Amino acid sequence: MGGRSLERAVSLESGAAVLAALRERGWDAVGIDLGDDPGRQLAEAGAGLVFLALHGRWGEDGCIQGLLESLRLPYTGSGVLGSALAMDKLVSKRLFEGAGLPTPRWAFPATLASVRTLGLPAVLKPRAEGSSVGVVVVRDEATLLAQLGGPPAASAAPDAGAGAALGGAANAALLAEVYVAGRELSVAVFGSGEGARVLGTVEIRAAAGHYDYEAKYAREDTEYLVPAPLPAPIDARVRELALQAHRLLECSGATRADLRWSGREDDEPLLLEVNTLPGMTSHSLLPKIAAHAGWSYGELVEAIVADARLKA
């Protein structure tokens, strides 16, 4: 848990909850706040199996997975390939389109010209971050100019606020996507290949209207409806899309696919992305979905452990 990404704080919270659940259920578990020498840390801990509660870059993008494959330590979640494909929003977008999976129109890199061609409102997001870190909804020309036309600025970290400017030097790493007004949906999938199955769905209703970093982890007024109250054809479709995306990206273990739907039954739900190491905090969606499927938090953790293996 922990690590160096902008999602470090969330990862530490996920890791602490997982560690407590494992110990409560009798596992000889050790918490490792990942530093600059993970090989040494793993050896000193006497690790025989690794539960990955990392989020973001270096933890969710195939880097730590490659190290664990080299060390021959079984681990939870997706392998090197699946982790890398899902974490890179540009690559996953191209794969979704190639496979015929519906996704919002997009442009890369995000520039004043490309976003104007795409049209407003639009969403600007880093190419390879999670937890809505650095995601900004641009609704007007003034905001667009402020985000992309200003002086260089770093991508917004959680401590800086999700609405911090993303312009200048960060532009090359930004993806622009048409904003889809409507309902925010997530679908949890568990397993690998043809054995993968959908655990359930959730609809998120953020009081502020946008499910950003603050709504995910800081606010207590975000509503979570499990299962998502959807018309039967739409419910079947979002489940199908999540399962297809999980398999397309070569994922394993537990994933969570995020989608948007306009609310009109003649409109197709649109696939945004797949998260290969979903959060395990008290606010996180995967435990909420699993609970409705009949799994306690501890049972969910043990199911993830039971699925741990080498993938290469």
Per the residue annotation, which of 83, 131, 171, 192 is the catalytic one?
131
177 is catalytic: no
258 is catalytic: yes
Phi, psi for residue 237 in degrees, rounded to 5: -70, -45
264 is catalytic: no
Per the residue annotation, which of 15, 213, 273, 297 is the catalytic one?
273
Per the residue annotation, which of 7, 88, 129, 250 is the catalytic one?
7
Task: Please say whether the beta carbons of 123 and 137 come within 8 A.
Answer: yes
217 is catalytic: yes
Q: How far apart are CA 136 and CA 175, in angstroms?
A: 11
Per the residue annotation, which of 59, 62, 130, 279 is the catalytic one?
279
35 is catalytic: no
273 is catalytic: yes
Per the residue annotation, which of 167, 256, 284, 297 is the catalytic one?
256
75 is catalytic: no
Per the residue annotation, which of 75, 179, 213, 217 is the catalytic one?
217
Per the residue annotation, which of 88, 177, 203, 258 is the catalytic one?
258
Per the residue annotation, which of 132, 155, 275, 284 is the catalytic one?
275
Task: Please say whether the beta carbons of 153 and 170 come within 8 A.
Answer: yes
Q: The sheet that has 183-190: what strands, in order across it?
A: 223-225, 197-205, 183-190, 254-261, 270-275
Q: Which residues are catalytic?
A: 7, 131, 217, 256, 258, 273, 275, 279
